[in-house]
Structure 1
């Protein structure tokens, strides 16, 4: 995985010139967005790992049954499947990152304005995240802090740092957590730039229920030429499929069924 993303990252490991904009991510961190578009090794191979496919099916795939008045004495029962989507994929490369500050303990699903005012139910799961270590991740170089069980908390419960555990990982290890879980990127205190711990790389994937808007706008962030080079399953996962509820249709059809090359080739003259 590291070999796949290296060409997209700064080659100078002592480069202090680049600063990540904003305040949510430490400026010392290089961010590589649209990770799944960088190659199968960081795209389909990860997203369609049997464990992640199983988790998506169990936690995020929605099967809805509705009974409606069919306009006569008969009632019409409709079964709808809403498959999950990839909401976001990014590589965090803290290289080097001495002095990088810790993030606030947060919930990823806050982006949708969700509230937590009732006892937790499985149906309340909206998203889960997968962090795969590309390098050794320890407390000293910014390992992710996680508060186990915090997905059960209401919004009034204030997280405390002493409740968090550090997700220390060897390369290839993965941390999987629900989007209601309080967590934060840790601070980097490795000042020896030649230390193998001076660089911390994390491959991050977030999968959400299909009715939610994706955090990353896949339709604009991934070039169309790259999308056309993906197989149909990946095209569906990043959002080019209308679910059974027809959400996301083009001419009331699923974009992948129309053929994305045809959809992308449309001009104003086709309206």
Structure 2
């Protein structure tokens, strides 16, 4: 995550729960275990998505903008599923290479496939069925 604006406790700095990526699924954090990531504009923080994290409460009149970058191999299904994060009807507005990186391209033969083909083909088939009243 890159801070485009300064992250302060007042403007809702992202909060993390240190070492929570090591917990099992039964362990839930308390508010007292959170720590704000305070940093200057242009700074960057890196953490695994399995670490408990979230936006802090913004008690100011300022916005807190950031750039969030996430990546995994296109044929892997991440914890944060990019396929579900973007409406199918918007895929044609996104550069094809980015759509592939979001997981719509089968990387290794038959790994990550949907109904025997790439996820993008399955989406196009479903959209066509929907538009033609077959769904």
Given the two structures, how large is their TM-score scaled by the length of structure 1? 0.37
Pick the structure with greater CA Rg.
1
- The structure that is strand-richer by fraction is 1
What is the aligned partner in structure 1 of residue 104 from structure 2? Answer: 240
Structure 2 CA distance for aligned equivalents of residues 134 and 189 of structure 1: 18
The answer to whether structure 1 residue 200 and structure 2 residue 68 are counterparts is: no
**Divergent runs of 4+, >6 A:** 253-256
Q: Secondary structure, in 3 states, of the residue corresponding to 1:176?
A: coil
Question: Which residue of 137, 157, 179 maps to 2:7?
Answer: 137
Question: Which residue of 41, 53, 57 maps to 1:187?
Answer: 57
**Count of aligned pairs:** 120
Pairwise mapping of residues 110-149 of structure 1 onto structure 2 (< 5 A)? 131-149=1-19
Superposed displacement of residue 211, structure 1 = 3.4
Conservation of the 8 A alpha-carbon contact between 2:104 and 2:118:
no
Structure 1 CA distance for aligned equivalents of residues 33 and 90 of structure 2: 38
Q: Secondary structure, in 3 states, of the residue corresponding to 1:177?
A: coil
- The alpha-carbon distance between structure 1 residues 238 and 143, as it changes in their structure 2 partners (threshold 3 A), is same
* CA deviations over 1:5-50 (Å, ceiling 9, x no partner): xxxxxxxxxxxxxxxxxxxxxxxxxxxxxxxxxxxxxxxxxxxxxx
Structure 2 CA distance for aligned equivalents of residues 170 and 221 of structure 1: 37
Given the two structures, how large is their TM-score scaled by the length of structure 2? 0.67
The answer to whether structure 1 residue 211 and structure 2 residue 76 are counterparts is: yes
Computed over aligned residues only, the root mean square deviation of the Cα atoms, in angstroms, reads: 3.2
> Where do 5+ consecutive residues of structure 2 fail to align?
130-135
